Structure 1
């Protein structure tokens, strides 16, 4: 989540607004290491907001899972 926000230059508040998830929830989720915890629909909302903003989630490929920003279509 943090890496995706950094690529978008989004604050935690911007992610909360875009995803419809509360700011305290975003802060709590980012404060913990490892897999995203919490309710499944919360993760789905966050992922959808990040993907719609251009984030691509990269699966484990030997170098580790990660995120990247999609190329601009302009």
Structure 2
């Protein structure tokens, strides 16, 4: 969901995270990955503008960050 919100393909996320497209596909299938690999994917998505939302009764989620206001 986060990757699609950024209009990124699998290769885009892989390039930004420094992992292989195969790794992204494995992650999206729900395969087990090393915690440091998951952190690379998360950091790439956050750098791209995604904000992860913690559990708040409605489940975890992700959304695009609000643009910072420039004064």
Instruction: Give the secondary structure class of the aligned counterpart of 2:62.
Output: strand
Cα displacement (A) at 1:29:
1.2
Structure 2 length-normalised TM: 0.89
The higher radius of gyration belongs to 2
1:56 aligns with 2:54: no
Structure 1 length-normalised TM: 0.85
Alignment gaps of 5+ in structure 2? none
Q: Hey, what's the Cα distance between the residues in 2 that align with 1:57 and 1:37? A: 20
User: How many pairs were matched up?
Assistant: 69
Match of 2:66 in 1: 71
Q: Which contiguous aligned blocks of 4+ residues in structure 1 show a shift greater than 4 angstroms?
A: none
What pairs up with 1:1-74 in 2 under 5 angstroms?
Answer: 3-32=1-30, 37-73=32-68
Kindly report the root-mean-square deviation, in angstroms, between the aligned alpha carbons of the 2 structures.
1.3
Alignment gaps of 5+ in structure 1? none
Q: Hey, what's the Cα distance between the residues in 2 that align with 1:30 and 1:48? A: 16
